Amino acid sequence: MSSTISGFLAAGIAAGIKKKRGLFDLGLIYAPGGASAAGIFTTNRVAAPAVALDRERLRAGRTFAVLVNSGNANTAVGRRGMRDARLCTAAAARGLRLRPEQVLMSSTGVIGEKLPVQAVTGALPELVRSLRPDGFFDFARAIMTTDTHPKLVRRSFRLGRTRAHLLGVAKGSGMIHPRMATLLVYFLTDLAAPAPLLRRLLREAAADTLNAISVDGDTSTSDTVLLLASGRAGNEPLQAGSPAARSFLAALQETAAELADQIVRDGEGATKLFRVEVRGARTREQADRVARRIANSPLVKTAFHAADPNWGRVLAAAGSAGVAINPGRLELVFQDEAGRQRVPVVKAGAVAPGYREKAAAAILERERFRVILSLHQGRAARIISTCDFSADYVRINAEYRS
């Protein structure tokens, strides 16, 4: 798969931030001609200084570079966190002959440890020299923490006579339970579009993709999603509500959905991806609360890891979501991802007539499946994608800092 996008260069190297030598841990995206830019970020109150810095600098609606380090979140370290983020972006700006405010930054990794600024700044000359059009695979490697593989998606599409492209690069495996953004995700396009429209489209694209996944129910302090547009495709700038803007939104949603699935499938220790679909809620918010409660239940996730159709855990999780539901109306179905096999599990709040546990277990043995809970109280619905919990999840997190 080609990983180039007109108007952007990228690089990734090992700077010595991570404890294990030789692991890539410093990445850079560079737009020589600049790019319209928008972002959405974590709602965690203990947000990383890099998040605050990016929010401040994105007010201009334009940027030239994004510096990303992994292995250290540069969070919960006092005032030096913002100071160090500014020092690193200033050093990157000097290397690229930019102003500091033209450089954004993301940091991901261990919380509460000081960022090794000298390792970052000392590696910047090599990082800048490594920039190239096809450097995004190395960039994707450099932003990984507990991920098992880099995550990239590229799409080509037409807007009238214009041939346009979109590249998405992401990291994420644990501490995934986003609100308004998720993980670290970077979308790059060669289209021309104003920053306010990019921001609106990014929020809309994330709502049912990146904002509808969970691995472990923990919200990161560093969640960042950026959308940069270089304008190299030669189109007239996108306008809100236009057919071209709608076509770009569709491409953005498809790319975000594919990255979201890659993230969940690569959840720490995960062996299965399943979707929790709640139907018939009074409001979308209530459907979301019930779906997230089921998706985040350790009891549900461990049962499904063992292909144990312990449906009582699903109902118990739904009942603890803080939403008024009528137990006598609940209907639960286990279904394969394609919808070809469907096993009714609960009907009118009790075990469904003719329920066969072996058939239900066979669904849960698949790598992908769907859990559909109907509340029969309204018309609102919500789907949350998540994964199972295995013994490897405990091992990975127990050994994270060792």
Torsion angles phi and psi, residue 303, rounded to 5: -60, -45
Give the orientation angle of helix 49-57 with respect to helix 80-96, to 10 degrees: 50
Neighbours of 146 (CB within 10 A): 18
Long-range contacts of residues 299-304, Cβ cutoff 8 Å, at least 24 apart: 301/386, 301/387, 301/388, 301/389, 302/388, 302/389, 304/272, 304/274, 304/364, 304/388
Q: What are 69's strand-pairing partners?
A: 26, 107
Of 325, 376, 321, 319, nearest to 347 (Cα)?
Answer: 376
Of 212, 337, 184, 202, nearest to 273 (Cα)?
Answer: 337
Contact 228, 272 (CB under 8 A): no
Report the distance separating Cα 176 and Cα 180, nearest Å: 12
State the greatest distance between any 2 C-alpha atoms of the chain, in Å, as a whole number: 71
Report the distance separating Cα 294 and Cα 298, nearest Å: 9
The residues that are catalytic are: 182
